[in-house]
Each structure stands twice: as structure tokens, then as C-alpha cells.
Amino acid sequence: MLDNDKYKKRIERERLARKEAERLLEEKSAALYEKNMELFALSESLEKLVAQRTAQMQNARDEALAALKVKTDFIANMSHELRTPMNGVLGVLSLMQNEQLSPEQTELLGVAESSGKHLLGVINDILDFSKIEANKISIELAPVEIRPYIKETITPFVLQAKNKGLAVNYAIDENVESMLNTDKLRLTQIITNLLSNALKFTHQGEVKLTLSKLDDSKHRLVVCDTGIGISPENLNMVFAAFEQADTSITREFGGTGLGMNITKRLVDMLDGNIHVESKLGEGTSFIIDMHMQAAQIDLNLVATPCALKHTNKKLLVVEDHNVNQMVAQRLLESWGFDIVLAENGLEATQIAKQQSFDAVLMDLQMPIMGGVEATKILRKEYLIDADVPIIAMTAHSSQEHIKECLQAGMQDHISKPLDKDRLLSVLNTYLSADIAVTSESELPSAVSADINIVHVEIAQSLARVGGDWPLLHSLIQRFLHEFDDFFTLFSQIKADGMSQMAVSMLHKIKGSGGNLGMTTLAELAGHHENRLLQSDTWPSENEIHNISQMILEIKGEFLALEEPKHQASEKQKVKVSKETLLTQISLVEEGIKQDVFAAEAALNELLRFDVEPKLSKVLNTAELAMQNFHTEAVLNALTQAQQMLE
């Protein structure tokens, strides 16, 4: 009995212990579960936080990019706003040099001009620093005649130095080639920065620039002075942005502390390196070793343009700025051009409707309508002849802007402030080329022998149009234009089961194609036309594709051809009265409203008449427009012609 009690107690103890252990286990596992849930929640909220932060970062990045774009645009606009008035100032100074002046006045004017140019340089400096920061600077290498260039670059400093009682000298080694390939603008900045820096810190003695040849591609440019010098501990700070040797220097000498930093970055861009040697109280030398190769000289480009008298040449100058207008007008008139001014792009298009020009000088940023848009309209609506050059005058000389100009239909650009020589050289290039082209085009039949287009028997079709290649050209162009999308069109017709329309389309290809010498194509179209008519058999997808392919092949080769000159040959010209001309013009106008083919025929007749050159030009514009099926432009030109006659 005693034993029984003992065992009962023991069992009870064990049972209690087991229950206790189970309770503890449950408690612990509950705690574990809770902790686990907490961990889940934490990791979830962490993920959310990460997503949120990522979104914030993306926003911040987008904002930063947008801000950068705003900054870039701002720089481009500032560039325009700052340079335009400088163009006026420098232009007026340049005009004054043409007046009768005393030697003293000439010298004063020279100082004013070089200071103005220097100011322009400073403006460029600040802009350039921002541009370098935004990686917006590109290096444009071109041949530079190095000796006169260095002399010209140094000249403003000679005067400045004279006032301080200093000498500025330069020496160029004899073995340095006369023409070197470099970026003139950037090199000027480098030299200007170094010279102005040297003059700033030199109180007596001289500043000297030397250029020597290290090897075929490397040259060394040294600017040394006898100035205050730089202490060794300050030497390595020279090229840091916004740093001068010490703050007292800023107080005494002024400056932004940007010059040397810009210089170093520009030297880097020109594939060179710069270092400085200096002794306190004795002077400083900046030594630049950079790649500058001897340039291949193109005599045509280098030859200084002589002031040819461009009599009877008429230019349209589109410029909103009064002073710039005056500068351009006076300059151009002094070379013998007739000038018509337009205040903005819209006015230019209106003037171009009434008068014809030999060239257009086009500013880019103007109120109401800018230069790019105006150019697009002039070209699209044939308001000026296709061979009349449009030349951009722009303060934006970035390559992107130039590309935009060329795409809009401009031929060239000159940067502002206007460079007299560059302007004349550009005008000479385009206007004399124009003459050369005109004289060539007087021999129209010479062209035809060389023409070759796949699937087209040119000789046969030329014979059909009386050897008139421009006419044949326009007919082929019209044909290709009409059946450009043959595959899609015909497939749709087939899908809709419109056999009447299909037959008519094939018939047209057969007829027109045959006349144009596209014999194979014509036969193919005829074959399918017959099958469709006789047995209601449609061409298969493959067969449609074959026809389309042939048209496309013709088009491919046709587009590669040069457009023919659109002048009716002189020998056939007939003298007629003014009344006959007016009647013929109204015939064309009538035709356009009713029957384009009749209009084309009437216009061709009109072109055979002998008229004065100005009117001839207008009529040629009409012809070109007609060939491109631009009836509105044809009517414009004809109205203009009528006005000229009346």
C-alpha cells in the first residue's frame, strides 16, 4: 500500500512535469510564431520602403535630368542673347573702319574692336565653363595659318601690356609648319587665358609666348612671364576651379578663378597636357604640349576671297535685329549686292512669293516665325527656286543646330558675329557655283545618254517624248508616285472583290508603263488584266508581289538619279507679245482647275516663249512645282508672273 502511494506520487510528478513541458513548448512555439510574423511584416515593410525609395530616387533623377535640360537650353539662349548685341557693336566698329579716319581714330577703333572681341571672349569663357560642365563642347579641327593667327591673337594684349609698361613678345620656331590643324576657337581661348593671366600677375619685365615643334604631330606652346610667381605649395592648386593661389589674390587681381581650369580642360580636349613651373618672385611658365599636325592645304578654301563685285545679284536678308540688319545690309551693299530685308520668317515667305532672289541669309531665332520653319516653308512651297541657297546666320554654332539647319533645307551656315571674310567666301562659293550650273544646263541633250533605269527602256521612251528628258523624268515620277503602294492597294481591291477597279488599275499600268518604256511591267499587267477579264482569275499574292517588286526596283534606281535641270532649251524660244503670254498663263490656270494634263501641256508651251530672265525664273519655279504635282505652288508662281507682266 505504501509502495502504491509512492508510485502514484511518482507518476503524478512525471505527469505534471510532462504537462509543464508541453505548456512551455506551446508557449515557446507561440512566441516563435509571433516573432516569425513580425519578421514577415518587417521584411514586407522593408520591401515597400525600398520600392518607395527607388521611386523617390527615380523622381529625383528625372528632376535632375529635367533641370540639366533647362540649364542646357538656358545656356543656348544666353549664348544668343549675349552674342547678338555684341554682333551689333563689333559690326558697327567694323563698318567704321571703312570710313575716312585719321590714324589716331583708326588706332582707337582698333582698340575698341579688340576689346569688344575680348569681351566676347569673356562671355564665351563663362558659357564654355558651363558647357564643359555639361559635356557640351565639341572640338572642331580645321587648318589654321599659324603665324598670322598668333600675331592676331596677341595684338589686344600688346596694347594692354603697353599701358602697364610691359612688353609682350612672341617667337615661333622656323620649323613650325605654316598651316596647323587645330580648333582655332579653343586654342584662342587657351592662349588668351594664359596671356591675360600672365599680364595680370606681372608688374615689370615681359610676357613671352613661344611655339616650337617637338615632333611631326606634337607642338609645345609656352607662355612665360617675369611676374610674382607661385609658391610651391600653391602650384598644384592652379588648375582647380574657383581657386586662386590665395584669397588675397582675388581681392588684389580680381577674376573668377575659372580661367586656368577652363584652360586645362580645353588642353585635355585638344589631346594635350599642361603643366606649370614657377619661382616665387621670378616668374611663371605655363607649358603646353599638344597634338597639332600640319594641315593639308586646300587652296580654294584658303585663298582670301577677293571682293568681287556682285552686281545684279539680289539677296534676301532675314534678320529681326535692327543693328544686325544694318550691319549686314551695309556690308553686303558694299560688295555690290541688292538687299531686301525681312523682319522675320513669315515676312520672308511673303516677300519670296513676289520676288525672286539669288540667295537668302537667314537668322534662326526670330519672333513670329524662326529661320528653320521659314526655310521649310520656302522649300516646301517652292517660294524660291530649288537652286537658290539659304544660308543660316546663327549665334548657335553647335553641330546639332547646324544639322537642324541643313535638314530644314539650308545649304550652309555662318556664325554670328558675322565674319566679313567668311561671309564673302560663302557667298562666292554658292553664287559662282550657281553660274556654273546654269551654263552646264544649257546643253540638255548631253544628259540622256547616261541614264539607266532597270526595267525601263529609256531610249525608246525618250524618243516618244521628243528627247525631253525633264518631261520624261516627271512622267516617270508621277507614275511611280501613283503606284507606289501597289501591293497594299491591289491586295485590298482583291480582298473586296472589286474586279472592275482591279482591271482599271492593271490597264493603267499597261498603258502608262508601256509608254514610259516599262515593257516587261506593261506586259505583265496586260496578262493579268486579260485573265481577270476573260476567266475572272485574280493574280495570286505572289504575282501581285512580283508586280509591286518591279515598280519598287524602278523607283529605287529612279530616286538615285539626279533631277534634271528644268529649263526649256534656249534654241526653241519664241518671241511673243505680252498679251499672248497673259493668255497662255490663264490657259494654264484654267487647266489646273479642270485638266492637269492640259495644264501641263499649256505650261510647256508657255515655257517655249522667250521672256525676260526674272520672269523666266518665276516660270521655271512653276514648272518645277508642276512636276511635283504641287498645283497651289504653280498657281502662286503664275500669279506672280501675271503681276510682273502687268
Partner 1 sequence: MRGLVFTEFLEMVESAFGDDMVDTIIDVTQPASGAAYTSVGSYDYSELENMIAELSVQTDISIAELLERFGRHLGAVFSERYARFFIQAGSALCLFQQVGRHVHREVKKLYPDEELPEFSYENAAADMPFKIHYRSDRNLHMVASGLIQAAFDYYSEPHHIKTSAWQEQHKYCCTFELTPFTKESKQPHVR
Interacting residues with partner 1 (CB under 8 A): 6, 9-10, 12-18, 20-21, 24-25, 28
Q: What is the dihedral of CA 371, 372, 376, 377, to 10 degrees?
A: -30
Q: How far is the CB of 26 from partner 1 (least distance, A)?
A: 11
- β-bridge pairing 412-415 and 179-182: unpaired
Q: How far is the CB of 21 from partner 1 (least distance, A)?
A: 4
Q: How far is the CB of 23 from partner 1 (least distance, A)?
A: 9
Instruction: Kindly tell me which of 17 and 463 has the beta carbon lying closer to partner 1.
Output: 17
**205 Rama class: left (phi>0) / alpha (psi -120 to 50) / beta:** left
Instruction: Kindly tell me which of 10 and 608 has the beta carbon lying closer to partner 1.
Output: 10
Cα of first residue to Cα of last residue in the chain, in angstroms, is 149
CB 295 within 8 A of CB 318: no
CB 186 within 8 A of CB 202: no
**Burial (CB count within 10 angstroms: exposed 0-12, middle 13-18, buried 19+), residue 597:** exposed
Q: How far is the CB of 42 from partner 1 (least distance, A)?
A: 19
Instruction: Kindly tell me which of 20 and 81 has the beta carbon lying closer to partner 1.
Output: 20
Selection from 539, 525, 327 nearest residue 420 by Cα: 327
Q: How far is the CB of 24 from partner 1 (least distance, A)?
A: 5
CA distance 151 to 168: 11
Instruction: Kindly tell me which of 17 and 108 has the beta carbon lying closer to partner 1.
Output: 17
CA distance 576 to 589: 19
Cβ density class 208-226: b for 16+ within 10 Å, e for less: bbbbebeeeeebbbbbbbb
Instruction: Kindly tell me which of 23 and 279 has the beta carbon lying closer to partner 1.
Output: 23
Instruction: Kindly tell me which of 17 and 443 has the beta carbon lying closer to partner 1.
Output: 17
Q: How far is the CB of 36 from partner 1 (least distance, A)?
A: 17
**Burial (CB count within 10 angstroms: exposed 0-12, middle 13-18, buried 19+), residue 110:** middle
Instruction: Kindly tell me which of 6 and 380 has the beta carbon lying closer to partner 1.
Output: 6
Question: Bridge-partner residues for 222, per DSSP?
Answer: 210, 287
CB 106 within 8 A of CB 171: no
Q: How far is the CB of 39 from partner 1 (least distance, A)?
A: 17
CB 389 within 8 A of CB 62: no
CB 335 within 8 A of CB 307: yes
Q: Which three cell numbers stand for residue 528?
A: 493579268
Instruction: Kindly tell me which of 1 and 559 has the beta carbon lying closer to partner 1.
Output: 1
Q: How far is the CB of 37 from partner 1 (least distance, A)?
A: 21
Instruction: Kindly tell me which of 26 and 496 has the beta carbon lying closer to partner 1.
Output: 26
Q: How far is the CB of 14 from partner 1 (least distance, A)?
A: 7
